[in-house]
């Protein structure tokens, strides 16, 4: 099992690395071509600098922060290196203008990539938190807060479906109702805290002795219900 998991993790890493390379190689190649004046004889290089932005946006939307920072840093290094060497779309301008254009380009690349990536990350975390909150609310809606057993609401939804499934598949379902005798006396004599303790202990015993496919519910008050799919009368009694 561990070998299978490691293999799947390795495949996932390779797939992710392939996706990064698929966008990184053309992005860096385009940056190099623009700032090395490789396209200068046929195309004006200054307008072509804007063609790098779609790659920056795409990486920000699709990859993690480390990948975005690394790719943006490589783009900036290529741009700075060639501009200092007197090549690229900014080199032909006067020194002050050239530096200003270079800084504007670097700022646009870095800010666009990081801001978009941060927004996407925050949105992803917000969706995860919302999904977890909805899952928690859904679970709380079908659980008894005292015993953590399923409650009557869950039973009303689950039992008809389980009975239909049993009838369709031709299997038996045992339903056991449990009512604690003289439970009111416990509350009256020892207090409600003691009564709650009795209920939680009963719930613990039920969970300990049922199968993984069985369902234990607190029906209400001191009443409990067990649903035992595919159980014979003998196994249900035991």
User: Residues 26, 55: contact at Cβ < 8 Å?
Assistant: yes
Q: Tell me: the pLDDT tens digits for 94-118?
A: 888 888 988 999 999 999 998 998 8
Judge whether 223 counts as a catalytic residue.
Answer: no
pLDDT of 6 over the 90 cut: no
Q: Which residues pair with 224 in a beta bridge?
A: 178, 218
pLDDT of residue 217: 94
Mean pLDDT of 204-230: 90
Token code pair at residue 91: 């080199």
**Residue 9 binned pLDDT confidence (cut-offs 50, 70, 90):** low
From 169, 201, 222, 223, active-site residue: 222
Collapse the DSSP code of 173 into the 3-class scheme (helix H, G, I; strand E, B; otherwise coil) and give the result. strand
Collapse the DSSP code of 4 into the 3-class scheme (helix H, G, I; strand E, B; otherwise coil) and give the result. helix
- Whole-number Å distance between alpha carbons of 215 and 14: 43
Collapse the DSSP code of 226 into the 3-class scheme (helix H, G, I; strand E, B; otherwise coil) and give the result. strand
Non-local (6+) Cβ contacts of 228 within 8 A are 173, 174, 175, 176, 210, 211, 213, 214, 235, 236
pLDDT more than 90, % of the chain:
25
Q: Which residues pair with 150 in a beta bridge?
A: 143, 217
Q: pTM of the predicted model, to two decimals? A: 0.57
User: Residues 184, 192: contact at Cβ < 8 Å?
Assistant: no
pLDDT of residue 150: 93
Q: Tell me: the pLDDT tens digits for 128-156?
A: 999 999 988 888 889 999 999 999 999 99
**Residue 77 binned pLDDT confidence (cut-offs 50, 70, 90):** very high
Domains located in the chain, CATH noted:
1-139 (no CATH), 152-229 (3.30.70.270)
């Amino acid at each position: 099992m561990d070998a299978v998991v490691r293999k799947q993790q390795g495949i996932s890493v390779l797939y992710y690395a392939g996706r990064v390379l698929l966008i990184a190689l053309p992005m860096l190649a385009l940056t190099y071509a623009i700032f090395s004046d490789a396209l200068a004889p046929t195309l004006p290089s200054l307008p072509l600098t804007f063609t790098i932005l779609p790659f920056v946006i795409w990486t920000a939307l699709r990859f993690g922060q480390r990948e975005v920072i690394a790719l943006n840093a490589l783009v900036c290094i290529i741009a700075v290196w060639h501009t200092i060497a007197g090549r690229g779309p900014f080199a032909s301008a006067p020194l002050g203008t050239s530096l200003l254009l270079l800084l504007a380009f670097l700022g646009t690349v870095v800010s666009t990539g990081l801001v978009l990536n941060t927004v996407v990350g925050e949105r992803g975390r917000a969706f995860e938190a919302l999904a977890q909150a909805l899952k928690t609310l859904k679970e709380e809606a079908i659980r008894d807060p005292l015993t953590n057993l399923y409650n009557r609401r869950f039973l009303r939804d689950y039992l008809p479906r389980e009975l239909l499934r049993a009838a369709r598949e031709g299997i038996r379902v045992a339903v056991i109702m449990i009512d604690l005798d003289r439970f009111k006396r416990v509350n009256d004599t020892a207090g409600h805290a003691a009564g709650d303790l009795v209920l939680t202990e009963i719930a613990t015993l039920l969970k300990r002795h049922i199968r993984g496919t069985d369902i234990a519910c607190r029906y209400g008050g001191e009443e409990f219900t067990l649903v035992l799919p595919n159980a014979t009368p003998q196994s249900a009694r035991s």
